[in-house]
A and B are shown apart, each in its own frame.
Chain A
Amino acid sequence: MTERPLRWLAFVSAALPPFLTGCGGSQSALNPQGVQAARLANLFWLFTGVCGAIWVLVMIALAIAIFRRPRAQHHSVDPLVVDVQGERTMAIVVGSLVSLTALILIAFTFLSYLATRGLAASGEPLSIEVTGYQWWWNVRYENSDPTQVFDTANEIHVPIGRPIRIDLRAADVIHSFWAPTLTGKQDLIPGQDNVLWFTAKRVGQYRGQCAEFCGWQHAHMAFLVIAEKEADFQAWRAGQIRSANSTFDPDASLAGKPSQGEHIFMTRGCALCHAIRGTDAGGRSGPDLTHLASRRALAAGTLPNTKQDLLAWIADPQSIKPGNKMPKVPMDRSELDALIEYLRTLQ
């Protein structure tokens, strides 16, 4: 007799861990690392607790109703006889429950006002403009000083403890910015400017992704939020503002020059879509590649940023991310190697 419950226990304990792994990780609303996400997680657990308790109570009431012994048939009551005492009791009970509900609602409204006020930014905010494209994210660090503005892609570095203001734009279709570990999600809508605030509490790498179906490669439209100490962030920022060194000489012949990879980049069409600051490449329809080698991932979180993956990506982007806007540019192996070598220098 004791075997069966034991087996069930074993089954449940075996089945539970895979579910619980969903609670951790770098992309989980249940592992909050930001002020806003922590509030959301608290709300989630409160909801789960309250709704769970009410569900249990309802189930108990239902079970009692089903299994209780039928009461002996009373003689039928005359429906025309008014039970004055009973009706008065009923009126008091219903009336006080309705007013209690209203009072609870008022209290919660007030609490939510306090909560919203508590989330308002304190400290100097950092302003970042994130533009959604099919299927990648352009990240522009805004600044009142134009020399301090720069673009990067798919990787957002933020200092911890400072409020971050994200201005959300969309270039083509509706996307949604969702980094559950840090804050709730917000849509990017063409023609409308949305704003999202968050504050990261702890140093770490947090994954986010597009949460609104936006076409073929919606699933491959991720980004990384890297929260770091203010000093590290400033160092990163200084590095990103720097332009790339150019050795490109339009008159240089292809063979044997150190700038061969750069020459290929400039003449084979890469520069029509991509920008590398400090060079002639100024395309604006693809991600900015000025510091490509410093990023952790390629193609909006699709591939890790290694030499082999970069090679595979450029050799045939359509086999890795079918339908994406990057065409397969015909190149032979030596040209490809030279190009990769050049791109890997863009630290």
Chain B
Amino acid sequence: MRAYAPLAIFIGVTMVLSACKREHRDFEPDKVDVAKLGPVPLVNLEPGGHTPPKNLEAGKDFEQNAYHLNQGKALFSAMNCNGCHSNGGGGMGPALMDDVWIYGSDFVNIAASIRDGRPNGMPSFGRALPGETLFELAAYVRALGGFVPTNAAPSRNDSLQAAPGENRTQENPEFVPKPPAGNPPAP
């Protein structure tokens, strides 16, 4: 029995120490140059049966990192993406939480859409936003589409919930169930 004690202590300490692992917040990610992404193909077709080359690794460290995703979420309202895409639900611009992606749903496609702009109103942010900022925004758009790990994706704003947060509920007389009076009303 005593022989197992060191093992038990080792396992216990390891489990406790594993709690020290925390997501790394990279305030100065390696400078991202969005121009280097180059032209991004919008379809997977090329004459001769080939697939056009596309950088599928770009932005991986952004879209798996809760800090970058949350920064992107803050930027989504700060840059007034809401003005057209309305919290991802779409309005004047297309919805970003459905599975319809006019210009592709890969990270590079979304980054290129933000960088270059798209016809019918999507402005180009490539010159105005630093590369890291643009990548954070693109990562959040990926989160809206459900492409990022759920343990990193930011949650929905309280203002979008159907009911106020539990700490904000106020008793509304309209919703308080009334005792039945006489016969139920005819359907």
Q: Chain B residues with Cβ under 8 A from A329's Cβ?
A: 130
Q: Is the CB of A191 within 8 A of B133?
A: no
Query: Are the CB atoms of A330 and B27 closer together than 8 Å?
Result: no
The chain A residue with its CB closest to the CB of B77 is A285
Q: Which residue of A lies closest to B158 (CB)?
A: A191
A246 to chain B, nearest CB (A): 18
**Per-residue interface assignment for chain A, residues 307 to 346, with 1 indicating a CB less than 8 Å from any chain B CB and 0 otherwise:** 0000000000011001101011110000000000000000
Return the contact of A272 from the options B25, B71, B79, B168 (Cβ within 8 A): B79
Interface string of B96-132 (1 = CB under 8 A from A): 0000000000000000000000000000000111111
Which A residues are in CB contact (< 8 Å) with B79? Answer: 272
A273 CB-CB contact with B under 8 Å: yes
Q: Which of B25, B130, B133 contacts A323 (CB 8 A)?
A: B25
* A267 is an interface residue with CB less than 8 A from chain B: yes
Cβ of B78 within 8 Å of any chain A Cβ, yes or no, is: yes
Q: Is the CB of A268 within 8 A of B28?
A: no
Q: By the criterion CB–CB under 8 Å, are A269 and B130 in contact? A: yes
Name the contact of A267 in the complex, choosing from B71, B74, B127, B131 (C-beta under 8 A). Answer: B127
CB <8 Å contact, A325 and B127: no
Interchain CB contact under 8 A, A327 and B132: yes
Q: Is B50 positioned at the interface, with any CB of A under 8 Å from its CB?
A: no
Contact partner of B128 among A268, A322, A323, CB < 8 A?
Answer: A268
* Interchain Cβ contacts within 8 Å, total number: 39
Whether B128 pairs with A267 at a CB distance below 8 angstroms is yes
A273 and chain B: residue at smallest CB distance: B78
**Chain A positions within 8 Å of B129 at CB level:** 269, 272, 327
Counting CB contacts under 8 A, is B31 at the interface? yes
Complex contacts, A327 vs chain B, CB 8 Å? 129-130, 132-133
**A328:B128 contact, CB within 8 angstroms:** no
A272 to B75, CA, bound (A): 10
Distance in angstroms between the alpha carbons of A90 and B131 in the assembled complex:
81
CB-CB contacts below 8 Å: A251-269 with B: 267-269
The interface residues of chain A lying within 8 Å CB-to-CB of B168 are 191
Which residue on B lies nearest to A269, using beta carbons?
B128
Asked if A272 meets B128 with Cβ closer than 8 Å, knowing A318-B28, A330-B31, the reply is yes
Q: Is the CB of A285 within 8 A of B78?
A: yes
- In the complex, the chain A residue whose C-beta lies closest to that of B67 is A323
CA of A319 to CA of B128, assembled, Å: 21
**Complex Cα gap A267–B31 (Å):** 20
Q: Bound complex: CA of A107 vs CA of B90, how far in Å? A: 63
Minimum CB–CB distance for B132 against chain A, Å? 6
Docked CA distance A268–B130 (Å): 9
Contact A322 B27 (CB under 8 A): yes
| Contact assessment for B127 and A330 in the assembled complex, using a CB-CB cutoff below 8 Å | no
Cα–Cα distance between A318 and B29 once the two chains are bound (Å):
11
Chain B residues whose CB sits within 8 angstroms of the CB of A216 once the complex forms:
25
In the complex, which residues of chain A have a beta carbon less than 8 angstroms from the beta carbon of B74? 172, 325
Task: Please measure, in the bound complex, the distance between the C-alpha atom of A273 and the C-alpha atom of B71, giving whole angstroms.
Answer: 14
Other-chain residue from A271, A272, A283, A318 in contact with B27 (beta carbon distance below 8 A)? A318
Q: Closest residue of chain A to B136, judged by CB?
A: A327
Question: Who on chain B is nearest to A324 by CB?
Answer: B27
In A229-254, the 8 Å CB interface with B consists of none
List B contacts of A285 (CB < 8 A): 78
Q: Determine the residue in chain A with the shortest Cβ distance to B31.
A: A330
Closest to B164 in A: A191
A20 to chain B, nearest CB (A): 39
B130 / chain A contacts, CB cutoff of 8 Å: 269, 327-330
Chain A residues, Cβ within 8 Å of B128: 267-269, 271-272
In the complex, chain A residues whose CB is within 8 Å of the CB of B131? 330
Which residue of B is nearest A190, CB measured?
B158
Contact digits for B3-29, partner A, Cβ 8 Å, 1 yes 0 no:
000000000000000000000010110
Question: Are A268 and B25 in contact, with the CB atoms below 8 A?
Answer: no
Q: What would 8 A/B residue contacts be, using CB atoms closer than 8 Å? A: A269-B128, A318-B27, A319-B28, A325-B71, A327-B132, A328-B28, A328-B130, A330-B131
Beyond contacts A191-B168, A269-B128: 17 other A-B pairs, Cβ-Cβ < 8 A, are A267-B127, A268-B128, A269-B127, A271-B128, A272-B79, A272-B129, A283-B78, A318-B27, A319-B28, A322-B28, A323-B27, A325-B71, A327-B129, A327-B132, A328-B28, A329-B130, A330-B130
Nearest 9 CB-CB pairings of A with B: A285-B78, A269-B128, A327-B130, A322-B27, A318-B27, A327-B133, A318-B28, A323-B27, A329-B130
